[in-house]
Every structure is written in structure tokens, then in C-alpha cells.
Amino acid sequence: MIFLYQFATSPLCEKVRRILNYKQLEFEIHEVPRAKVADYADVSPTGKFPAIRDGEKAVWDSTDIAHHLEAVAPERPLIPSDPRDAAMVHVIEDWADESLYFYEITMRVAWEHNAPRVAEEFAATMPGATAEAVLPLVTKAAQELTSAQGLGRKPQDQVVRDVERHIAALEGLLGDGDWLVGDSITLADIAVAVEVNALEYAQEGAERLQASPAIAAWRKRVAEVAPD
């Protein structure tokens, strides 16, 4: 049995759930109390989640988890055997985790006009907290994170233009195909899809995504093959 330690509101945790489900592996979810992250240092010394425990082995970081699961459950692969395709999957996954991630955090949580939509979900993971009390806390934390990273210092209209270009790039990668790399689902599809799902929480992201039937059809395929 695999144990997944997660924050339910994190798209990176959604990424791991979808990988586990695609690979048809049994797992049990443990929601990590945000005030007690230090209590889980045995599974995540960095205090970052998702993390898993598979037998005696603990793995943290969604990419490391993906590669661990690929090694222990290769029957339903998410990383192509072709080196060029595998390289492309790596590049696209990194784009999702290290670029799209900060855009969705900025728009979904750091922007005060969008943050109320997710406040209830954050509050649900914090026993005794209300959405009203949680809202300024999560917004401030997201603003500090994205400001330190750099994206949070950009004007909002510039961020929206950036996201429009990212979405156009995703449409270009899909082209007339069903998947981002090759002719079957890969880690690239799951990694990007979870960030797009999060972008949809922001009004500006939702408006642009609604104008893309190709992305909508692709997201539906990912959800069917690798459900949450």
C-alpha cells in the first residue's frame, strides 16, 4: 500500500493522485494539517508536499514521485521509451511545474478578486477555520511567494498576456493530436492538465480556456484516462 501525504488544494498533489490512478495502484490519502507540517519530516524533510511512503521508502517532490512510480509500476508507462520523446516529456513537465504553477498561484490565490473561490477549499483542510478567516492568510502567503519568485511583481495585465501566450503554446503543442507527446498519455499531459485545471479557478484563466475547444477536449481525455 502506498500512502500519499498531501494538501488537497495543491495541483501537484492532484498530479500524483492522477498518476497513481492511471497506474491502477492502491493508495491511501493522508491530509497534512498545515499547522503541523514539521510532524511529517520523516516523509518530507523539506516540508513540501506531495510526499509518499511506499513500504520503507519515502519520496517527496512530484517529479521524483512520478519517476519512482514509473520504476515500480512500468506496466502502464507515462514516460516514453524513445529518448527524444522522453526528453520532450521532461521539458514539458518542467514547464508545468516551474512556470505554469506560479502563474496559477498568482492568479488563483494571490489576486484578491479570485482568491475567495478557493478560500473554502483551503479552510476545509484547516480544522476550525472559516473561509473568511483563511482568505487574507492564504492571499498574503501567495503574494509573498510569487513576489519572491518574481511573477508577483508583474502588473496583472502583463500576467494575463503571459497566460494567454502559455495557453496558445499549449494549443500549438496539441495541434491536431490527442496528446502532448506521442500517441498516448504521458507525464507531460498530467503535469500540464493539473495546472490548467487550477488556472481555470481564476476568472481571467477561465475566460481564455473557454475559447479553446481543443484544450477542453484534451482535458476531458486526461480526466478519463487518469482520473482524480
What pLDDT score was predicted for residue 197? 98
* Domain coverage including residue 40: 2-72
139 and 175 belong to one structural domain: yes
What pLDDT score was predicted for residue 224? 98
- Tell me whether residue 89 is in a domain: yes
What pLDDT score was predicted for residue 95? 98
> Residue 34 above 90 pLDDT?
no
How do residues 145-157 score in pLDDT, each as one tens digit? 999 999 999 999 9
Quick one: what percent of the chain has pLDDT higher than 70?
100
Long-range contacts of 140-146 (CB under 8 A, 24+ apart): 141/109, 142/105, 142/106, 142/109, 142/110, 142/115, 143/110, 145/105, 145/110, 146/102, 146/105, 146/106, 146/110
64: domain CATH number is: 3.40.30.10
pLDDT confidence band for 144 (50 / 70 / 90): very high
142 and 221 belong to one structural domain: yes
What pLDDT score was predicted for residue 143? 97
pLDDT confidence band for 129 (50 / 70 / 90): confident
Residues 6 or more apart in contact with residue 161 via CB below 8 angstroms: none
What pLDDT score was predicted for residue 35? 83
119 and 155 belong to one structural domain: yes
Overall domain count for the chain: 2
- Tell me whether residue 77 is in a domain: no
How do residues 42-96 score in pLDDT, each as one tens digit? 999 999 999 999 999 999 999 999 999 999 999 999 999 999 999 999 999 999 9
What pLDDT score was predicted for residue 222? 98
Q: Which of 42, 72, 102 is the last residue of a domain?
A: 72
98 and 210 belong to one structural domain: yes
Q: Which of 72, 98, 114 is the last residue of a domain?
A: 72
- Tell me whether residue 194 is in a domain: yes
- Tell me whether residue 19 is in a domain: yes
Which of 125-134, 173-182, 191-200 is the least confident region? Answer: 125-134
61 and 96 belong to one structural domain: no
Residue 121, C-alpha cell as written in the block: 477549499
46 and 114 belong to one structural domain: no
Phi, psi of 211 (to 5 degrees): -90, 10
- Tell me whether residue 78 is in a domain: no
> Residue 184 above 90 pLDDT?
yes
Residues 6 or more apart in contact with residue 95 via CB below 8 angstroms: 192
Which DSSP letter does residue 162 get? H
Give the integer Cα–Cα distance in Å for 33 and 123.
Answer: 11
Average per-residue pLDDT for the chain:
96
What pLDDT score was predicted for residue 86? 98
